[in-house]
Structure 1
Amino acid sequence: MRERLVRQLGLVDATTIGLGSMLGAGVFVAFAPAAAAAGSGLLAALVVAAFVAYCNASSSARLAARYPESGGTYVYGREQLGEWWGFAAGWGFVVGKIASCAAMALVFASYVAPGYEKLVAVGAVVVLTTVNYRGITRTAALTRVLLAIVIVVLTTVVVLGLPSAHWRPVAWDAGGILQAAGLLFFAFAGYARIATMGEEVRDPRRTIPRAILAALAAAVLIYLVIGGTVLGVLGPERLALSSAPLADMLAQTGNPSVIARVGAAAASLGALLALIAGVGRTSLAMARNRDLPSVFAAVHPRFSVPHKAEIAVGVVVCGLVLAFDVRGAIGFSSFGVLVYYAIANASAFRMDRSWVAVAGFAGCVALVAFLPLSSVLIGLGVFAAGLLGRLALRR
């Protein structure tokens, strides 16, 4: 008999986990590489990324209502397109989000302990993996606390920075805007965490679609306000060179940058917490179908979590923290997640022939095509390794 997770999350908890994932380190670091690509077209890129995210969220919400199980698009792809498509989606999510976990841990450490980033980042991963191990309700409770801190900090940053903002005319570089949109998509992909927890949400056919769309709407509004403020204060050139844009913006306006550092620490921890939980649930679903080692299908008898999968995720993330930097992790994460959502949209189109699924699929393909070449090549290599590994195991 397959071990099942317990339905403990309501609408508020599910929305909080999704929003906490989207208001992670992305809001504190993603604007810089996006500004390097799009310049003064940063907000246009943000709108493009938000539109693609909306299409993906809509497709994910409809699929989650049909298949309220752990695993997200891994499950949807298997049901609608076949086993190989499901595996590609699950593999893309796992490797992309493990890269995101490493990025979040490094952002946290860079804000709270400059010079000791690697050691502190590993410590953060260990602590949050332990929290997730203790149960999903503890994950949701800590996420609520961290999200409240982040919203207070972001509100303060806008109030302090907005009076000094001066905007320039938009330079319409289509290629740069699309590349920036692909990098900014990294920040919007957190709503996937809600779908991957479909087995732990009460009344999932109603709760999951509502939570996904509510979390995305709130995140888009917040990102537009923050992005506009930081662009107006620093300008595209200074923003593109910044490793801590919100802290630099506060310093520019004569305010203490420690405010942004507190917010970045809370945001990256909240996103990391939800990411570890989401990757663990997708790994659980893949292990149940022998697409990952079956040991990861174990569910803890007391805490009702995929404990072995989450421990494995934590170990791999620690390894990536020691090997990579933040910007490289963002590009690779965007590649993996855009492939994941392309398959989600294809699955949704197969299910109900929606135009939103067509738009979402086209948007994902376009954003992948304009990502930095290094991110695309690394992503293709990792996907090839995963697909070849599955083929070898099947034979």
Structure 2
Amino acid sequence: MTADTAAPTLVRALTRRDLAGILLNAMVGAGMLAAPAKVYAVTGGWSFTVLLLSAMALLPLILCFADLGSRFSGTGGPYLYVRDGLGRIPAFAAGWLLWIAQVMSTATLANLFVSYLAGFAPILESGVPRLATIGLLGAVMIGVVIVGISPSARVSNALIVIKVAFVALFLIAGLPFVDLGRVETGATPAIDDFATAMLVYLFAYTGFERGAVLAGEARDPKRDMPAALGISMIVATLAYAAVLLVCIGTLADPSTTDRPLAEAGRLLYGSIGAVAVSAGAITVILGTLFVIGIGMPRVLLALADDGQVPTRFAAIHPRWRTPWIAILLSGVLSYVAAMASDLLTALTISTGSRLISYILSCIALWRLRNRADAPPAMFKLPAGGIIALFTAALFTGVLLLGATNELPALAVVTAGGFVLLLFGKRRAA
């Protein structure tokens, strides 16, 4: 096959800065907007302890993904890790759940976007205007993502600059009014309440795996991925702490509102403050939606490359060098799902799906560390096998304690994926 007739491939264009921007856009996301209210409702003044415990629980997971990310340079992230460490069947479960989680997250966040936008134009809250807004949002997101990874990276970098500026201004504007007496802890919450509250912050943090999914389009993923993970983890934790401090320190009871940041802005600066914070929140949601739109089709691409789903989803556009069919399918399905429901999708179901892929990835790392033929690591985590097993056990406990009610739904979704897999293989045979 000549160079002129060879099938088009992905372009390795993402730098370390681009990867860090994508990771931060995913981690400093819409979960940050609701977390102060949801966590305070469960644990009260212990919210900062919950944030600290969540960051501590996430740190070994980040280190495990840094080790894994330094071993692989292909597209797929957790799917590749689990496939090489545990085999194709567990890998399909990890990839399928990760893709479903992103579809559900997109539907949820699209509705949240319209909800905030309706604060400026109430007509958009329901009916045809709502559907048209979701449709236009989806068309713009799909259009930008499909025309190339480099334009997508530039948009992502611009959005994260705006996000960081928004958090910094929110902290500067609210800090003079913070009453540290409101941050005092009360009675110690039950352990299951702690787990439930941690799950909220783990949802806010989730998304870092999208950088790993895009490794096939990074210039030097084995070196850049560990650094980008570390940078994003630190910046995201500081952002969550800043927002939590202002919300708890200024509001009498943050749990009484679904929009604690906007309520804090209104309380301190009147309608101008509420409008400013709502505009910032819209940017935060857009950034998260955008990076989901980049990462979600690449998961489908990885599954298609291995024949786990129809291979047509692995098609690369000859001009834009993006998985255009996977982008169209993932995007259309997500925004149609957003149109079909007026209610926000349960965040814990989406988080539970991700947690399962994280657990499988950690077990895969343990297996890879004990294999002589495993891909070599540019960043080798000390005692990585022990840490991987500990992290898998830790997140299994969080899943069982914090998302017990969602486990049946997760089982149904997983079973549905395997039914489609078997049906597809029978048709192929």
Q: TM-score, normalised by structure 1?
A: 0.94
Q: Tell me what 2:312 maps to.
A: 295
- Which residue among 94, 101, 110 is the counterpart of 1:105? 110
- Which residue among 151, 163, 186 is the counterpart of 2:164? 151
1:341 aligns with 2:358: yes
Q: Tell me what 2:12 maps to.
A: 7
Q: Helix, strand or coil for the counterpart of 2:70?
A: helix
Larger Rg: 2
Matches within 5 A, 1:1-395: 3-114=8-119, 115=122, 116-117=124-125, 118-119=130-131, 120-165=133-178, 166-173=182-189, 174-235=191-252, 238-255=253-270, 256-324=273-341, 327-352=344-369, 353-394=384-425
Alpha-carbon contact 1:38-1:179 (below 8 Å) kept: no
Distance change in 2, residues 1:56/1:150 (3 Å):
same
Q: Which amino acid aligns with 2:398?
A: L
CA displacement at 1:81 relative to structure 2: 0.4
CA displacement at 1:356 relative to structure 2: 2.4
CA displacement at 1:110 relative to structure 2: 1.3
- Structure 1 unmatched ranges of 5 or more: none
Alpha-carbon contact 1:328-1:375 (below 8 Å) kept: no
**Cα distance between partner residues in 2 of 1:194 and 1:267:** 18
Alpha-carbon contact 1:7-1:202 (below 8 Å) kept: yes
C-alpha RMSD over aligned residues: 1.9
- 1:208-251 alpha-carbon deviations (Å, 9 max, x no partner): 1111121112111211221222122224xx32231211001111
CA displacement at 1:203 relative to structure 2: 1.4
User: Size of the alignment, in residue pairs?
Assistant: 393
**Cα distance between partner residues in 1 of 2:412 and 2:162:** 39
Higher deviation after alignment, 25-34 or 96-105: 25-34
**Cα distance between partner residues in 2 of 1:306 and 1:300:** 6
Q: Which amino acid aligns with 1:328?
A: T
Q: Helix, strand or coil for the counterpart of 2:320?
A: coil
**Cα distance between partner residues in 2 of 1:78 and 1:202:** 23
Alpha-carbon contact 2:365-2:388 (below 8 Å) kept: yes
Distance change in 2, residues 1:300/1:259 (3 Å):
same
- Structure 2 unmatched ranges of 5 or more: 1-5, 370-383
- 1:162-183 alpha-carbon deviations (Å, 9 max, x no partner): 2322322244212111111112
CA displacement at 1:2 relative to structure 2: 6.8
Higher deviation after alignment, 178-187 or 112-121: 112-121
Q: Helix, strand or coil for the counterpart of 1:215?
A: helix
Q: Which amino acid aligns with 1:73?
A: P
CA displacement at 1:327 relative to structure 2: 4.8
**Cα distance between partner residues in 2 of 1:367 and 1:323:** 31
Q: Helix, strand or coil for the counterpart of 2:284?
A: helix
**Cα distance between partner residues in 2 of 1:169 and 1:91:** 41
Alpha-carbon contact 1:105-1:122 (below 8 Å) kept: no
**Cα distance between partner residues in 2 of 1:254 and 1:316:** 40
- 1:78-124 alpha-carbon deviations (Å, 9 max, x no partner): 10101011111101110111111122222222112244244223321
Higher deviation after alignment, 267-276 or 144-153: 144-153
Q: Tell me what 2:375 maps to.
A: none
CA displacement at 1:326 relative to structure 2: 6.2
CA displacement at 1:20 relative to structure 2: 1.1
Higher deviation after alignment, 96-105 or 272-281: 96-105
Q: Which amino acid aligns with 1:77?
A: V
Q: Helix, strand or coil for the counterpart of 1:328?
A: coil
Distance change in 2, residues 1:53/1:324 (3 Å):
farther
Q: Helix, strand or coil for the counterpart of 2:302?
A: helix
Alpha-carbon contact 2:93-2:414 (below 8 Å) kept: yes
Q: Helix, strand or coil for the counterpart of 2:392?
A: helix
CA displacement at 1:386 relative to structure 2: 1.3
Alpha-carbon contact 1:107-1:264 (below 8 Å) kept: no
